[in-house]
A = this chain, B = another copy of it.
Amino acid sequence: MAQEEEQSLFEAPPLAEQERMVEAVLFASAEPVTVADLNARMPHGCDAAEALVMLRKRYEGRGVNVVKVGDAWAVRTAPDLGFLMQKETVETRKLSRAAIETLAIVAYHQPVTRAEIEEIRGVSVSRGTVDQLLELEWIKFGRRRMTPGRPVTYVVTQSFLDHFGLESARDLPGLKELRAAGLLENRPPPSLGGEVGDDEQDGDEDQVDMFEDDA
């Protein structure tokens, strides 16, 4: 009581000063501040409501605005500048080896089931790998295979063709061309039986030679 009386002896600070105070408090406060709270914080005799009106006006059209949040006040970024508060970073990563191989098998053998992919790769295909390729929209679901369990098949998409600059999946270089380009070794692994495609012809030639030897 005694303190209050003492304080009231002093003049309240000028309104401009009160506006500064409201500005500082609204800026620094971790939560929106009510008028009552402002008045309690400011020196005796201050009128936070009046200072707020001035401050609000001052920030009209500025990069930040004084806004009412419930029954409290806060400083907020002007709505039209929200885009500045976002930062988009584009990161380019190389596709993992597992993903590339899976993608390649889908491209060369489509429509292909997961079991078939695993058989060709010789390792199991993780869900994440397939999901990633689906998400990239490089592969999509094809028809279900009419075999027991009716497994889903995968095929490549138009996006895939666009990305790799192919007219159709048939434009993919065949094994013969891969071999000619030095991408494939001469001898196919013994585990691989007779697959379809022009790739087999080279193998056949070797076999023919061998038969000749035998003869």
Contacts and interface: CB of A to CB of B under 8 A. Distances in A.
10 contacts: A20-B78, A21-B84, A24-B77, A24-B78, A24-B81, A24-B85, A25-B84, A28-B84, A41-B84, A42-B84
A64 interface: yes
Q: Interface size class for chain A?
A: 20 to 34
A211 B29 CA distance: 74
A41 B161 CA distance: 29
A33 to B, nearest CB: 9
Tell me how many chains of this kind the complex includes. Answer: 2
A27 interface: yes
A88 B29 contact: yes
B27 A64 contact: yes
B20 A85 contact: no
A38 to B, nearest CB: 9
A87 B62 CA distance: 27
A19 interface: yes
Interface in A65-97: 75, 77-78, 81, 84-88
Best-buried of A24, A62, A84 by chain B (most CB within 10 Å): A24
A25 B85 contact: yes
Contacts of A103: none
Interface in A102-130: none
Nearest to A87: B41
